[in-house]
């Protein structure tokens, strides 16, 4: 158990967050900057703790190697890394997803890689991603929101030789700062809640009402929207411009000058602010101009047309539709070797040609009216392609090396922050229009507004696995917990064998092949003698779904055909009971 006091005394008055009210009536708190871990071996403990957000009140929290949040992990592209993640929670499972990483499915850390109490999970992989800002967080099905809200999240910074060739700020805690922005709901006992729109407590790196001393020079901020469902429209209080230099997965082709930056849950961006333009001792704020968010985005003044949201606090939440302060900057003297200029350009981005394309996928977002009637329009549950998530279902099959175009269409009244695991993608168009500059780079998250259609292109390189899937889902955490998720398998395009065992059991052997179509399997049994045998297919719980054969099998090779056209999507076992029993997992 770890305890942490993150803030000096303050009074929780939501009105003080609104722009225009006095900003210094109550004390503010120095911004907490997470510690770092670097190298090729990282040891992380998932643990309980208590944190004092409000004076005199202990809040039960979760963290990695601490009471709340986790250390910033520094990695280098090309390194082979091992992450030893021990779950020290006494009775609760968890997972750790390496958000934005291109890696084997078995090390992805999604809902399929549960870490039980007192168990250490040790993924090992080569870092293939470009230099950028990534993050890690809990991803257990139906518990993602509460575990992330209580603190199971942290930042990852990848560096590479290309990024190192530019004159950019990169001294952590000096001129290069992580900013994990979140809003929280505290109950009357000062405990963190979830699944509510009463998230009036805004924090950066776990700090309420934060301030940061910044040197009078160019400073880099690594922005992460780690909130459960709120989007932000970031800008400076004096409306001056700053430069966006990187999106989710790497540097843009050139710095983009802007005075607004919209980030939805899960998105990251890196920005440069030139504080050389300000005087020593001057203060200004990083703000969220929520009054400028389009309707339908969580954080805007309204979502949908339903009045039912009044019941759960959306329209009473003073953060929604109002501008508010996020972080105060206090300008201090420059460092010894300050960065004072901003590069004119970076390396060109190697975009994926839109032709030829091997496959297309279409994902439609829609409400589940059958569950909660009109409320589903704004609060869900929501479907992707009229389906909700099941652990034993596979939704999309793709092949190693495929170039694909995915089309996302939102037919709900609320914006959804779409995230896909394993790959980075490039946005082709939004409602038939080219993407704006801030969305022109490497992405793994994109906000799909109501009635919008977004097309992106991607390529499935390097990793295939016939049994372990990757995820795609809405990154509004209660939406994904409610089942707004899907799975995809990356298969070997040259081998249509499904799970052929590397070693036979005894002298019997079972091989399974796709036979002419996806709806038929060819099963081959090589028996060392004539014997009574049975072949059947079960679901993952062991319930028999089909009997393929039950009788006397001949010595030598035997072939059986099995139609699976009537089986629903999912994971199954083909079981052979002969001289020896053999089981082979297949995915429908």
pLDDT at position 377: 60
Residue 117 lies in a domain: no
Distance, CA of 522 to CA of 16 (rounded, Å): 68
pLDDT tens by residue, 315-325: 889 999 999 99
Q: Does residue 383 sit in the same domain as residue 487?
A: yes
Report the range of poorest mean pLDDT among 399-408, 413-422, 543-552.
Answer: 543-552
Residue 100 lies in a domain: no
Residue 290 lies in a domain: no
Q: Are 192 and 314 in contact, with CB atoms under 8 Å apart?
A: no
Q: Which residues contact 189 (CB under 8 A, 6 or more apart)?
A: 57
Q: How would DSSP label each residue in 338-349?
A: ------S--PPP
Q: Which of 397, 299, 409, 319 shows the shortest CA–CA distance to 364?
A: 409
Q: Are 224 and 181 in contact, with CB atoms under 8 Å apart?
A: yes
Distance, CA of 216 to CA of 517 (rounded, Å): 66
Question: Where among 432, 462, 491 does a domain terminate?
Answer: 491
pLDDT band at 148 (very low <50, low <70, confident <90, very high): very high
Residue 472 lies in a domain: yes
Residue 574 lies in a domain: yes
Q: Does residue 468 sit in the same domain as residue 405?
A: yes
Task: Tally the C-alpha atoms within 13 A of residue 578's C-alpha that lie toward its C-beta.
Answer: 28
Q: Are 103 and 421 in contact, with CB atoms under 8 Å apart?
A: no
Report the range of poorest mean pLDDT among 107-121, 373-387, 541-555.
Answer: 373-387
Report the range of poorest mean pLDDT among 36-40, 335-339, 410-414, 535-539.
Answer: 535-539
pLDDT band at 253 (very low <50, low <70, confident <90, very high): very high
Q: Does residue 448 sit in the same domain as residue 555?
A: no
Q: Does residue 449 sit in the same domain as residue 393?
A: yes
Report the range of poorest mean pLDDT among 189-198, 434-443, 452-461.
Answer: 189-198
Q: Does residue 369 sit in the same domain as residue 450?
A: yes
Compute the average pLDDT of residues 355-371: 88
Q: What per-residue string of b and e applies to 433-450 under the rule 16 or more CB within 10 Å gives b?
A: eebebbbbbbbbbbbbbb
Q: Does residue 466 sit in the same domain as residue 578?
A: no
Q: Which residues contact 407 (CB under 8 A, 6 or more apart)?
A: 360, 361, 362, 363, 453, 454, 455
Q: Does residue 481 sit in the same domain as residue 571?
A: no
Report the range of poorest mean pLDDT among 221-230, 386-395, 405-414.
Answer: 386-395
pLDDT at 146 over 60: yes
Q: Does residue 371 sit in the same domain as residue 454?
A: yes
Question: Where among 425, 460, 491 does a domain terminate?
Answer: 491
Residue 287 lies in a domain: no
Question: Where among 427, 456, 491 does a domain terminate?
Answer: 491
Residue 573 lies in a domain: yes
pLDDT at position 371: 53
Residue 416 lies in a domain: yes
Structural domain containing residue 425:
359-491
Number of domains composing the chain: 2
Q: Does residue 474 sit in the same domain as residue 514?
A: no
Q: Does residue 541 sit in the same domain as residue 422?
A: no
pLDDT tens by residue, 273-320: 999 999 999 999 999 999 999 999 999 998 876 555 555 678 889 999
pLDDT at position 502: 32
Q: In this predicted model, which residue has the larger pLDDT, 522 or 182? A: 182
pTM confidence score: 0.84
Q: Does residue 406 sit in the same domain as residue 464?
A: yes
Q: Hey, CA dihedral for 261, 177, 51, 25, is it positive or negative? A: negative
Residue 176 CB burial class (10 angstroms; 0-12, 13-18, ≥19): middle
Q: Does residue 453 sit in the same domain as residue 371?
A: yes
Distance, CA of 477 to CA of 253 (rounded, Å): 31
pLDDT at position 17: 42
Task: Tally the C-alpha atoms within 13 A of residue 313's C-alpha that lie toward its C-beta.
Answer: 11
Q: How would DSSP label each residue in 276-296?
A: GGS-TT-EEEEEEEGGGSPTT
pLDDT at 172 over 60: yes
* CATH assignment at residue 454: 2.60.40.420
* CATH assignment at residue 555: 2.60.40.3080
């Amino acid at each position: 158990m770890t305890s942490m006091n993150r803030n000096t005394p303050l009074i929780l008055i939501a009105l003080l967050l609104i722009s225009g009210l006095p900003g210094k009536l109550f004390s503010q708190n120095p911004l907490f900057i997470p510690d770092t871990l670097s190298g090729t071996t990282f040891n992380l403990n998932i643990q309980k703790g208590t944190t004092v957000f409000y004076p005199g009140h202990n809040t039960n929290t979760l963290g990695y190697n601490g009471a709340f949040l986790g250390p910033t992990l520094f990695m280098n592209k090309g390194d082979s890394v091992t992450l030893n993640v021990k779950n020290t929670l006494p009775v609760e499972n968890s997972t750790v997803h390496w958000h934005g990483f291109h890696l084997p499915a078995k090390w992805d850390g999604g809902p399929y890689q549960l870490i039980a109490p007192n168990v250490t999970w040790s993924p090992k992989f080569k870092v293939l991603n470009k230099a950028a800002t990534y993050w890690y967080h809990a991803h257990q099905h139906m518990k993602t929101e509460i575990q992330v809200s209580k603190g199971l999240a942290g930042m990852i910074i990848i560096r590479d030789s290309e990024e190192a060739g530019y004159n950019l700020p990169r001294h952590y805690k000096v001129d290069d700062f992580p900013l994990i922005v979140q809003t929280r709901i505290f109950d009357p006992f000062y405990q963190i809640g979830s699944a509510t729109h009463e998230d009036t407590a805004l924090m950066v790196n776990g700090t309420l009402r934060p301030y940061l001393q910044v040197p009078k020079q160019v400073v880099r901020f690594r922005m992460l929207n780690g909130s459960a469902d709120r989007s932000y429209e970031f800008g400076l209080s004096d409306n001056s411009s700053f430069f966006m230099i990187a999106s989710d997965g790497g540097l843009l082709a050139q710095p983009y000058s802007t005075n607004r930056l919209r980030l939805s849950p899960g998105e990251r961006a890196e920005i440069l602010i030139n504080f050389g333009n300000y005087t020593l001792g001057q203060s200004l704020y990083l703000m969220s101009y929520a009054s400028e968010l389009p309707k339908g985005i969580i954080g805007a003044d309204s979502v949908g047309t339903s009045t039912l949201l009044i019941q759960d606090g959306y329209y009473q939440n003073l953060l929604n539709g109002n501008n508010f302060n996020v972080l105060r900057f206090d300008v201090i003297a420059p460092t010894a070797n300050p960065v004072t200029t901003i590069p004119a350009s970076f390396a060109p981005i190697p975009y994926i040609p839109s032709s030829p394309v091997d496959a297309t996928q279409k994902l439609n977002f829609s409400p589940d009216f059958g569950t909660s009637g009109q409320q589903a329009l704004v609060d869900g549950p929501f479907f992707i392609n009229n389906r909700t998530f099941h652990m034993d279902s596979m939704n999309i099959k793709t092949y190693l090396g495929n170039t694909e175009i995915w089309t996302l269409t939102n037919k709900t009244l609320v914006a959804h922050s779409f995230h896909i695991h394993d790959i980075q993608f490039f946005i082709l168009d939004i409602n038939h229009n080219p993407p704006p500059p801030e969305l022109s780079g490497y992405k793994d998250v994109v906000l799909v507004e109501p009635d919008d259609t977004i097309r992106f292109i991607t390529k499935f390189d390097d990793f295939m696995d016939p049994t372990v899937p990757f995820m795609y889902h809405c990154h509004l955490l209660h939406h994904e917990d409610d089942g707004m998720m899907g799975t995809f398998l990356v298969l070997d395009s040259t081998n249509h064998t499904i799970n052929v065992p590397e070693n036979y059991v005894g002298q019997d052997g079972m091989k399974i092949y796709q036979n002419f179509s996806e709806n038929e399997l060819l099963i081959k049994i090589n028996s060392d003698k004539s014997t009574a045998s049975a072949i059947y297919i079960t679901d993952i719980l062991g319930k028999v779904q089909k009997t393929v054969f039950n009788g006397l099998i001949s010595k030598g090779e035997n072939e059986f055909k099995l139609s699976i056209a009537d089986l629903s999507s999912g994971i199954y076992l083909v079981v052979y009971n002969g001289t020896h029993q053999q089981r082979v997992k297949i995915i429908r």
